[in-house]
Amino acid sequence: MQSGRKPSQTNGKGFFLWFLLSKNREKIIIMLFSFIIIFILSLKWQTSITQGMMLLSFYLIPLALAGYAYYSYRRMKVQLLQTLEVLASITERTVDGKEGHNQRVAQLADWLALQKGMTEPERKKLRRAALYHDIGKLVLRGDELDQDAHALAGQRILERIPFLVDVSRWVGMHHLRYDGANCYFGLQGEKIELAARILHVADFVDTLLVQGKNREEIKQILASEKGKLIDPELVDLIISGWWREE
Alpha helices in 92-191 (DSSP H): 101-115, 120-132, 147-158, 165-173
Q: Compute CA distances 55 → 8, 36, 37, whole Å.
A: 10, 14, 11
Alpha helices in the chain (DSSP H): 2-21, 25-45, 49-91, 101-115, 120-132, 147-158, 165-173, 194-210, 215-225, 232-237, 243-245
Q: How confident is the model over 189-217, as pLDDT tens digits?
A: 898 999 999 999 999 999 898 888 888 89
* DSSP 8-state symbol, 46: T
Q: pLDDT-derived band of residue 30, with 50, 70 and 90 as boundaries?
A: low
CATH fold, domain 98-245, is Hypothetical protein af1432 (1.10.3210)
What's the CA gap between 64 and 71, in Å, rounded? 10
Q: State phi, psi for 28 to the nearest 5 degrees.
A: -65, -40
Question: What residues does each domain of the chain span?
Answer: 2-73, 98-245
When mean pLDDT is compared over 50-64, 82-96, 196-210, the highest value belongs to 196-210
